[in-house]
Amino acid sequence: MEVALSVVAVGLILLVSVYLVDVADTAIGYSVSGMQGGVASWKAPLVTAARLMLRRRTETERPDREAWALAPPLLGGLAAVALTAIPLSAGLDVADIPVGIVLFGAAMIQVMVAVFLHGWGPNSVFPMIGAFRMAAVGLSIGIPFSLVLITTALPAESLSVGVIIESQQDLWNVLRQPLGLPIYLVTALGFSFWGPGQLPDGADLAGGTNVESSGPALLVWRVSRAAVLVAVSAMGTAAFLGGYLGPALPGWLWMVAKTAAVALVLIWTGHRIARVRVEGMVRLGWLVLLPLALVDVFVSGALTL
């Protein structure tokens, strides 16, 4: 019963968050473009979802049907699993996992698999290139992404996300480990393939891994992608911005507000910063972010000792 309640709770939180991500994305898009007169931002996700629900799923020639069908729910499921590791407030979590940060990292690395399957499934050129790109990008940024997250466990002396949040009572990790949050946000854009990191589904691939998708399958893919953005925003809040810690207001409200702020930064970046070249992203990962992440680990480790 408790498990069922947890699943429902995570599902509801994700659905509401995804809806709000889409509303914010539409509103920021309108603002940047100066467009007026479109469907109201708050209603946009609803009507678009209805439109997609009415369309049939398309078939390609000799697809890997299982992989293609599995990828969208797998991506959403990974976002949900990642979210279970993050407490909404002190004692208010879906699952009190002592190695929550490892679970989160493992789920995010598997995003690479979901995107690869989504590109592999339809047996088509652009989706396949999108899949290659996710593999290249994921391998390049995966290590710095994981390193900066694990580094937040050093002062907490625990891999539990709740304990990591509590360890920031005196000083948030964004100040204690100043390299951590910038590296995390850049790599998070890669894992959520959003904005500058939208390489697997880029417009230069006419949609990349989703170029052959339509109807409900496309809807689930878009929802899942937004869910990943919510998950990385929530973890960014928990690991670097003190999570639910804050004065006066209830903890869950601080957590929601900070997560929304991080998500808004990522969404805004998507509309204002150009997509990075694949080679640029790979070089950035191996030559810049990885050394900086190692510095982050060594300096934070030394300070903790």
Partner 1 sequence: MGLRRRLGSLAESAPVAVFPVVGAGARADVARLRLRPEVELVDSPRHADVLLVAGEFVPGEVPGLAQVHDQLAPPRGTVRWGERLDGLDPSTPTIGTQDEVVAAIGSVASGLYRDPSISESPLLPDVDPVDWRGVGPYGHGGTGMTGGTPYGRPMVERAPDRDGLELDQLPVTVGPWIGSLPPGMTIHMKLQGDIIQEAEVLELVAGPYCPDLFTLALSSPQRVEDMELARASHHLVWLGEALRVHGLPALGLRALRLSQKLGPDSARSVRRLIQTVRRSGIFQLALRGVGTLPDSGLDGLGPVSRAHGREDDARLDEPAYRELGFTTITHDGGDAAARWRQRLGEIDQSLDLAGRAGALTAFGAGVVESPRGRIEPEGAQPSSLLKGRLAVWLTGLEWGDAVTTIWSLDLDPITYLPVETGARQ
Write out the residues near partner 1 by the rule CB under 8 A.
Answer: 28-30, 32-39, 43-44, 46-48, 50-51, 53-58, 61, 125-126, 129, 132-133, 195-196, 198-199, 202-207, 210-215, 218, 270-280
Burial of 283 (0-12, 13-18, 19+ CB in 10 A): middle
Residue number, 33 or 304, with CB nearest to partner 1 = 33
CA distance 305 to 302: 5
- DSSP H or E stretch at residue 84: helix 65-84
Residue number, 30 or 252, with CB nearest to partner 1 = 30
In three-state form (DSSP H/G/I as H, E/B as E, the rest C), the secondary structure along 163-193 is HHHHCCCCCCHHHHCCCHHHHHHHHHHHHCC
- DSSP H helices, 241-284, are 251-272, 278-283
Residue number, 84 or 213, with CB nearest to partner 1 = 213
Work out how close the CB of 198 gets to partner 1 at its nearest, in angstroms, rounded to a whole number: 6
CA distance 101 to 115: 22
Residue number, 228 or 281, with CB nearest to partner 1 = 281
Work out how close the CB of 4 gets to partner 1 at its nearest, in angstroms, rounded to a whole number: 25
Contact 66, 122 (CB under 8 A): no
Q: Which residues contact 190 (CB under 8 A, 6 or more apart)?
A: 137, 138, 140, 141, 145, 197, 199, 281, 285
Work out how close the CB of 186 gets to partner 1 at its nearest, in angstroms, rounded to a whole number: 12
- Tokens at residue 67, please? 């992989």
Residue number, 13 or 205, with CB nearest to partner 1 = 205
Work out how close the CB of 213 gets to partner 1 at its nearest, in angstroms, rounded to a whole number: 6
- Taking only Cα atoms into account, the Rg of the chain, rounded to an integer number of angstroms, comes to 19
Q: Tell me the backbone φ, ψ of residue 184, rounded to 5 degrees.
A: -60, -45
Work out how close the CB of 57 gets to partner 1 at its nearest, in angstroms, rounded to a whole number: 7
Residue number, 196 or 236, with CB nearest to partner 1 = 196
CA distance 197 to 175: 25
Contact 95, 84 (CB under 8 A): yes
Work out how close the CB of 266 gets to partner 1 at its nearest, in angstroms, rounded to a whole number: 14
Residue number, 1 or 203, with CB nearest to partner 1 = 203
Contact 134, 71 (CB under 8 A): no
Residue number, 161 or 281, with CB nearest to partner 1 = 281
Work out how close the CB of 12 gets to partner 1 at its nearest, in angstroms, rounded to a whole number: 21
Q: Tell me the backbone φ, ψ of residue 200, rounded to 5 degrees.
A: -65, -30
Work out how close the CB of 277 gets to partner 1 at its nearest, in angstroms, rounded to a whole number: 6
